[in-house]
Chains A and B, each alone.
Chain A
Amino acid sequence: DVQLTQSPSFLSASVGDRVTITCRPSQGVSTYLAWYQQKPGKAPKLLISAASTLQSGVPSRFSGGGSGTEFTLAISSLQPEDFATYYCQQLNSYPWTFGQGTKVEIK
């Protein structure tokens, strides 16, 4: 199975900060990588697919990049509604797997 390692696991930031989350697969996944945002008690929400394709309705402050074994999710200017847990998911080889998550909290 492809293991996904996210870093950091926890991030404390202020409104307006730029934040970057990294996802490193244990083997190359081309660009078959998605990013999700999850808030407490809610289902995950797809933000980015194919490593860098922003989903409809997702603010442009979110961006994704990378390929192979290193990917990033960036939020250019953190807003109050962005405080949540973020997960990456690889869809290159079965079983699809998720990273362990990055919790973004208010400093």
Chain B
Amino acid sequence: EVQLVESGGGLVQPGGSLRLSCTASGFTFGRFWMNWVRQAPGKGPEWVANIKHDGSDVSYVASVRGRFTISRDNARDSLYLQMNSLRVDDTAVYYCTREWRPFYHDSGSDTWGQGTLVIVSS
């Protein structure tokens, strides 16, 4: 079964840091672009970042660029999101997602984790 499991969310003060992890199983992780997508309470999804299957290319939404870093370890079938300088408006459920087509980054996310909740509050 294709599966993604996120961890690392929690309550953090403004200006703090968190590192999210996502462990993949049931597919060849190193063949797929991966994304982080977040969803604030009561809002629609927002794409945050993605990373090429081999880790050689990354992209970010402007609001997190310079504060968040996406990375992956294909040997461990794992995706990460290092979040620094967190702000109240970063509060959301963070999902790890897999692109549908191997080696493509523009096909849509066919697999989502269960999400991990990040709350930024003093």
Chain B contacts for A1, CB-based, 8 A: 62
Contact A89 B114 (CB under 8 A): no
Q: Please indicate the chain B residues that have their CB under 8 angstroms from the CB of A101 in the complex.
A: 44
Residues of B within 8 A of A98 (CB): 44-47
Complex CA–CA separation, A16 to B105 (angstroms): 36
Q: How large is the interface on A (under 10, 10 to 19, 20 to 34, 35 or more residues)?
A: 20 to 34
Tell whether, in the assembled complex, residue B61 and residue A95 are in contact, meaning their CB atoms are under 8 Å apart: yes
Select which of B47, B106, B109 is within 8 A of A95 by beta carbon.
B47
The prevalent SS among residues of A at the interface is loop
Cross-interface CB contact of B100 among A55, A92, A99, cutoff 8 Å: A55
Which residue on chain B has the smallest CB distance to residue A33?
A: B108
Q: Which residues on B are within 8 Å of A, measured CB to CB? A: 35, 44-47, 50, 59-62, 95, 100, 105-110, 112-115
Contacting residues, chain B, for A94 (C-beta < 8 A):
59
A38-58 with Cβ < 8 A to chain B: 38, 43-46, 49-50, 55
Write out the residue numbers on chain B whose beta carbons fall within 8 Å of the beta carbon of A36. Answer: 45, 108
Whether the pair B44, A100 counts as a contact (CB closer than 8 A) is: yes
A32, A43, A45, A89 interface centre (most CB from chain B within 10 Å): A43
Of chain B, the residue at the smallest CB distance from A1 is B62
Q: Is the CB of A43 within 8 A of B113?
A: yes
Interface 1/0s, chain A 59-93, versus B by CB < 8 A? 00000000000000000000000000001010110
CB-based contact A99/B108 at 8 Å: no
Residues of A within 8 A of B46 (CB): 98
Query: Smallest Cβ distance from B46 to chain A, in angstroms?
Result: 7
Contacting residue for B44 out of A49, A92, A99, CB 8 A: A99
Give the residue name and chain of the B residue nearest to A6 (CB): B44
